[in-house]
Amino acid sequence: MSTSNATTRAAPATSSLATSSKVRTFAITFAVVGTLVYCVCLFMNWPVFTYHPAVNRIEWGWGPARSGEGPAMYWYGWTATTLVVSTVVGFLATLLPESMGKKIPLLLVWLLPLLAVPYLIWDLRQWWLHP
């Protein structure tokens, strides 16, 4: 049996989705816009819907708590608003030229959430200072 010393060529590396500039642009834009939109939704009280857990009812937009129905939950609506807006803006950012997408500083991905923490603590103060 003879063995040959044939050299094999390595297959060219395939492009990974994780290294795609469009995915990078989407992820950075989604993270930056998501932080800002969530803080604005919280401040302006703009949920896409209100959930009333005691009666298992969903109401479009902001809905007040009703007597005998327990509290209204807005967090789900703020989160849904944030996800929708961030996804749309992230997708639109992928349509920009690649050179513009690279100009979005990666620093904002972790800096904006850190800057949002004091506001979130201030906004939730009623839960910590409540007797």
Q: Give residue-wise pLDDT tens across range 45-61.
A: 899 999 988 888 899 98
Give the structural domain span for 24.
19-121
For the question of whether the overall pTM of this predicted structure is more than 0.85, the answer is no
How many domains does the structure of the chain reveal?
1
Structure tokens that stand for 32 in this block: 């930056």
In a domain, 44, yes or no: yes
The secondary structure of residue 73, as a DSSP letter, is B
In a domain, 6, yes or no: no
In a domain, 14, yes or no: no
In a domain, 3, yes or no: no
In a domain, 5, yes or no: no
Q: How confident is the model at residue 41 (pLDDT cuts 50, 70, 90)?
A: very high
In a domain, 9, yes or no: no
Model confidence at 78: pLDDT above 60:
yes
Give me the helix-helix angle, 75-94 and 21-44, nearest 10°.
Answer: 150
The count of C-alpha atoms lying within 13 angstroms of the C-alpha of 83, restricted to the half-sphere facing its C-beta, is 7
3-state secondary structure of 57: strand
Q: What is the mean pLDDT of the chain?
A: 83
